[in-house]
């Protein structure tokens, strides 16, 4: 579905860019549009400065669930309640040097569509936008 241009938001963003390419002010205007929940105006302004539509960007369609960010922020991202126990189990198996069991669990999670990885900040799972969390019940 093509989004129509929004002359008002485009004008404000163009004014900031015309001011000696005041990119920080243009980005601030985009942030203001994003905060106001004005999707049509935001999309129009993003297109004006050459940013792709979010639906065309792979990282926009995935969600990252991590142990570290869930614990540190207290926020519970979508699917965290379902995925975090498996990430914790995978991390515990790795820390206990039970690598075969850890690899088996990782392969099971990846077979369900999750991308599981470990970083210096702890394990995380990239969750595709069409993930079906009920599939995790088979692993329990």
Q: Which residue has the higher pLDDT, 133 or 16?
A: 133
At 126, list the tokens.
């990239």
Q: What is the pLDDT of residue 65?
A: 73
pLDDT per residue as tens digits for the range 123-140: 988 888 777 888 888 886
When pLDDT is cut at 50, 70 and 90, the band that residue 38 belongs to is confident
Instruction: Map tokens 């914790």 to a residue.
Output: 88
Q: What is the pLDDT of residue 13?
A: 75
Q: What is the pLDDT of residue 59?
A: 55
Q: Return the number of other C-beta atoms located less than 10 Å from residue 101's C-beta.
A: 15
Task: Please give the full DSSP string across 52-86, using - where no structure is assigned.
Answer: PPGGG-GGGGEEEEEHHHHHHH----TTHHHHHHH
Q: Which of 25, 65, 64 is nearest to 14 (CA)?
A: 25
Strand pairing partners for 62? 128
- The stretch 30-38 carries a mean pLDDT of 80
How far is the C-alpha of 41 from the C-alpha of 76, rounded, in Å? 29
Helix, coil or strand: residue 107: helix
pLDDT per residue as tens digits for the range 40-69: 888 888 888 788 776 666 555 556 777 665
* Under 8 Å between Cβ of 41 and 5: no
How far is the C-alpha of 86 from the C-alpha of 2, rounded, in Å? 39
Q: What percent of the chain has pLDDT over 70?
A: 75
The answer to whether residue 105 scores a pLDDT higher than 90 is yes
Q: What is the pLDDT of residue 73?
A: 47
Q: What is the pLDDT of residue 111?
A: 93
Q: What is the pLDDT of residue 4?
A: 65
Q: Phi first, then psi: what are they for 20, rounded to 5°?
A: 55, 45
Q: What is the pLDDT of residue 102?
A: 96
């Amino acid at each position: 579905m093509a989004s129509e241009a929004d002359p008002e938001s485009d004008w404000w963003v163009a004014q900031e860019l015309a001011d000696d390419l005041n990119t920080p002010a243009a980005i601030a205007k985009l942030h203001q549009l994003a905060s106001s929940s004005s999707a049509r105006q935001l999309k129009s302004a993003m297109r004006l400065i050459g940013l792709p539509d979010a639906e065309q960007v792979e990282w926009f369609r995935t969600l990252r669930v991590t142990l570290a960010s869930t614990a540190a922020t207290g926020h519970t991202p979508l699917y965290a309640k379902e995925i975090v126990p498996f990430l914790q189990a995978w991390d515990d198996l790795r820390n206990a040097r039970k690598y075969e069991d850890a690899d088996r669990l990782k392969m099971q999670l990846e077979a369900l569509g999750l991308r599981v990885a470990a970083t210096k900040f702890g394990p995380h799972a990239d969750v595709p936008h069409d993930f079906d969390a009920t599939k995790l019940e088979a692993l329990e």
